[in-house]
Structure 1
Amino acid sequence: MAPKASPLMTGLYVLALLVCGSLNTLTMKIAFTMSGTVDGHSQRFEKPWFITFVMFVAMCLALPCDKNMWKSTKMVAEPLLDNVHMSRDAVQMTWRQKVVRVIAPAVFDIGATGLCCIGFLYIPASVWQLLRGAEIVFAAIFSVFCLNRRLYVFHWLALLFCVSGIVSVGLASVWGDEEQASAKGTAAGVGLQVLGIGLALAGQVVQAAQVIAEEWLLKDVDLPGLQVVGFEGIWGALLMLLFVLPTVQFLPGSDHGHAEDELDIIPLLRSNSKLFALICLYTFSCATYNISGIAVTGALSAVHRVMLEALRTLIVWAFGLWVHYCVDSTSLMGEVWTKWSWLEVMGFVLLVVGQMIYGEMLKIPGLYYPPHEEVEEVMASPGSLKNLSSPVPRTFSPRGAEQ
């Protein structure tokens, strides 16, 4: 077992998680609002599938940071999942077979990130960030049917809080769209708001399926976390290059007749140095976020994970308000405080409370809680890192009993 990081290094990693987690959302949204020049015409950089590809490239950068990659023999230390029991398959599989198995979560991640990025084009950054809380709902339901996990009453109560929060955020976004558009001098688009929310939620369904797939498919893949992140990045980038990007290039759509025209990306980046720098910052931020997450996952309690995610949401929301009221009231990145914003605040509170009840940080008097969990499973997989509040219910067992 590798030595644990010092308190100072752990603190720096947690700070990197918070800063880079916020930067991931902000840089992506800012990039979608920027424009470049193609054939003498101004064009906005609305390339969600390219951004998805960049995310996988950033994940690849985790591999050079894993010291085991440079050993002559691939010795495995610090397994992906902190499981007490490892099946025989883990011993029998070769290193290459384990690497190949990482393809499965990469496929889920392509769908989840792509859907979320497309939805991000139509909704404010704070709403998009808050809707990420839906993953915990879908993952809990999937875990019952796919992993045979048991949900107790407090779990269902927590999910009720989360669903109420998601509904509140969605309604606040749709009902406040006209006021947002009026303040920015643009046309209202309630239909696009609904579309964006629907795509973001669909992305969370796939993201939840990814987390379940990772726990089921990778439970015997005792690769170090950095290798899992890095190889998922490699597989994801290859699949994007070979299948996804060519497909969206040839599908009909509004981007020069394509669903997404990938051929004008280089001219767009060359014509706008700030946009190019922003994409580079996004790549660095994603890489740092994943590496930091793997480094401190074991040190983070459920409280830390929920609080970090809540702070990240507040930073994103505060930045949007600051842009609108202090920088440029017409900026597409800015957010307006509408009469429905209090409903969004309530949704935020409900989501945080729901996650705290789910993780047993808040215990409801009169409800049954298992007497003791022998081991708290800590996932360090790429899917779970995207949502710091672990969405998969733990496996409980009586004290001293085997799971």
Structure 2
Amino acid sequence: MSGGGSGEGPKKCGLTELLVFIAAIISGTICSIMSKNMMSLHAEGITGEIELFDKPMFQTFGMFLGMLFGLVMHFLVLLFKIPFPGYIHSGAASTTDPENGRVVSEKTGLIQNSKQNVDDAPLKVPTWMYFFLAIPALFDLGATALCMMGLRYIDVSIYQLLRGSGIIFVAIMKQNVLGDKLHNFQWVGVIWNVVSVFMVGSTAILSGGKDADDGASAEGSNALLGVSLVMLGAFVQSMQFVFEEKVLTMDIPAPPLLLIGMEGFWGTLFCLVVIYPLVYYLPGDDHGSYEDPFNTWYMIANSTTIQVSFMIYFSSIFFYNFFAVLVTFLLNSVWHAILDNFRPITVWVTDLVIFYYFAPSLGEEWTVWSWIQVGGMGILLYGTAIYNAPNTGSISLEGQWYALGLNFSKEYEAVREEEANQEMDDEFQARMLSTRNMSSFRGEIVASLR
């Protein structure tokens, strides 16, 4: 659900939203694991020697390339009038231009439909929107590049949990930028998420320095660098989430698939024109460059394993971004941040299974510090359940022992009353619009008979 200040009323996590959320977790899990494992693959480099395929900028480029497929799906939805969230075609609740489609809510569509006799021009995606969507692409580019660099120094499950710190920044910006005020109990949920992030961050640093006689200080320093980079990436990513929610809820909003596709287009363009030339000329360990694109291409061409891994990564990154944007569209940006908080659970479990049952070199082993990680995930689930109250499956803090003396009964009652009023308002408006449309239809018949 959203905060208390949303103009559209609270949004609840129903069955459809839950299925989309689960699909995002599954695709995100595959994406995260493949991202980490690709960095541990080896192939013949441009000099003929076997090298480590440690290419964070290439993975960033691959992410945008995968998102670019959203443009194809956007135009297919418009061309064949495929039912899809965020699109209302002709013959539905409102008239649609098949070239552009309506990108309004069902309720807004009914209202627009009732005004057709006054204004027959359909809502279109304006040209400036295609350029405006370069902004979230820049946010995504910066966040992904920072996180990919941080992932070099920490385990993938820790990386995912640290990215969960984004909920802190999203909640602050959602209230102060979007004007969607959060309830006090939701802030309690956010605070518990902060606690989980600090617990997992300490796990990364402690496990990085576990062997004091074998370069512990260097490993601990690298882990701290990794944690800092990922946290900074989470901050930039939170700006992207809030910006995307704003774009999806404007008077003339961007359709979800167009949002994904244009972010992919601009991100791919920025990578080719700005990022790759920059990292090629910056000094580093990749044949004198921070990352040599020519060496990257040579290694891919000479390794079937890298090719297959990239195709899996390419597909999973598209589907993750596809479902994640739908989470923002169907719910809000805080739920998008919560999604990133849930992914570590499946990532970590999958990594443990890979380590003990398939390939230890590609998985993650259980250590003494893993108990702290388990505790962090437990607190993460607890905080998320508090944030989602008073919906089904959530935790309401009403003076119970696990509420730690907190009682938000009055706030929960206010939320329920707001939801009930919103449902009554929607039903009333739907009946009024239906009556008006029927009256207009009858008037047209009478006029034609005269």
CA separation of 1:303/1:297 partners in 2, compared to 1, >3 Å: closer, same or farther? closer
**1:215 to 2:242 alignment:** no
SS of 1:150's equivalent in the other structure is coil
Match of 1:288 among 312, 319, 328: 319
Q: Which runs of 5+ in 1 are unaligned?
A: 1-6, 377-395
Letter of the 1:207 partner, please give it: Q
**Cα offsets for 1:102-160 (capped at 9, x unmatched):** 11111111011111111111111111111121111111112233223323321332122
Match of 2:438 in 1: none
CA contact (8 A) 1:373 1:397 kept: no
Match of 2:397 among 364, 367, 382: 364
CA contact (8 A) 2:167 2:338 kept: no
Cα deviation, residue 262, structure 1? 1.5
The structure showing larger relative contact order (alpha-carbon pairs under 8 Å, at least 6 residues apart) is 1
SS of 1:62's equivalent in the other structure is helix
Match of 2:56 in 1: 48
SS of 1:321's equivalent in the other structure is helix
Match of 2:374 among 342, 345, 349: 345
**1:23 to 2:48 alignment:** no
Deviating more after overlay: 319-328 vs 223-232: 319-328
Q: Which runs of 5+ in 2 are unaligned?
A: 1-13, 81-96, 113-120, 399-406, 427-450
Matching of residues 382-401 of structure 1 within 5 Å: none
Matching of residues 366-381 of structure 1 within 5 Å: 366-367=407-408, 368-369=410-411, 371-372=414-415
CA separation of 1:156/1:338 partners in 2, compared to 1, >3 Å: closer, same or farther? same
Cα deviation, residue 226, structure 1? 0.9
CA separation of 1:298/1:239 partners in 2, compared to 1, >3 Å: closer, same or farther? closer
Letter of the 1:101 partner, please give it: F
Cα deviation, residue 284, structure 1? 1.2
Report the TM-score when normalising by structure 2. Answer: 0.71
**1:96 to 2:96 alignment:** no
Q: Distance in 2 between matches of 1:375 and 1:357?
A: 18
Q: Distance in 1 between matches of 2:312 and 2:271?
A: 21
**Cα offsets for 1:173-224 (capped at 9, x unmatched):** 2112244899xx9977111111111111111100111122223455244232
CA contact (8 A) 2:156 2:347 kept: yes
**Cα offsets for 1:56-112 (capped at 9, x unmatched):** 1111112222334537853333449998999xxx98875322222111111111011
Identical-residue share of aligned pairs (%): 30
**Cα offsets for 1:256-298 (capped at 9, x unmatched):** 2222221211111122110111001111112233344556777
CA separation of 1:181/1:114 partners in 2, compared to 1, >3 Å: closer, same or farther? farther
SS of 1:43's equivalent in the other structure is strand
Q: Distance in 1 between matches of 2:247 and 2:234?
A: 19
Cα deviation, residue 319, structure 1? 2.6
**1:112 to 2:143 alignment:** yes
CA contact (8 A) 1:32 1:46 kept: yes
Deviating more after overlay: 72-81 vs 99-108: 72-81
Letter of the 1:17 partner, please give it: A
Letter of the 1:70 partner, please give it: L
Q: Distance in 2 between matches of 1:52 and 1:80?
A: 33
CA contact (8 A) 1:321 1:334 kept: yes
**1:206 to 2:233 alignment:** no
Letter of the 1:63 partner, please give it: L
CA separation of 1:42/1:342 partners in 2, compared to 1, >3 Å: closer, same or farther? same
CA contact (8 A) 1:179 1:338 kept: no
Cα deviation, residue 310, structure 1? 6.7
CA contact (8 A) 1:115 1:199 kept: yes
Match of 1:193 in 2: 223
Report the TM-score when normalising by structure 1. Answer: 0.79
Q: Distance in 1 between matches of 2:417 and 2:55?
A: 46
CA separation of 1:398/1:44 partners in 2, compared to 1, >3 Å: closer, same or farther? same
Cα deviation, residue 172, structure 1? 1.4
CA contact (8 A) 2:70 2:257 kept: yes
Match of 2:298 in 1: 267
Q: Distance in 2 between matches of 1:81 and 1:231?
A: 24
Letter of the 1:335 partner, please give it: E
Match of 2:102 in 1: 77
Q: Distance in 2 between matches of 1:147 and 1:13?
A: 24
Q: Distance in 2 between matches of 1:170 and 1:22?
A: 20
Letter of the 1:214 partner, please give it: E
Letter of the 1:202 partner, please give it: L
CA contact (8 A) 1:119 1:195 kept: yes
CA separation of 1:150/1:192 partners in 2, compared to 1, >3 Å: closer, same or farther? same
CA contact (8 A) 1:127 1:170 kept: yes
Q: Distance in 2 between matches of 1:190 and 1:35?
A: 25
SS of 1:36's equivalent in the other structure is strand
Matching of residues 27-176 of structure 1 within 5 Å: 27-38=34-45, 39-66=47-74, 67-70=76-79, 73-79=98-104, 95-176=126-207
CA separation of 1:62/1:27 partners in 2, compared to 1, >3 Å: closer, same or farther? same
Q: Distance in 1 between matches of 2:51 and 2:256?
A: 39
Give the number of the structure whose alpha-carbon radius of gyration is greater.
2
Q: How many residues align?
A: 369
Q: Distance in 1 between matches of 2:29 and 2:239?
A: 24
CA separation of 1:76/1:163 partners in 2, compared to 1, >3 Å: closer, same or farther? same
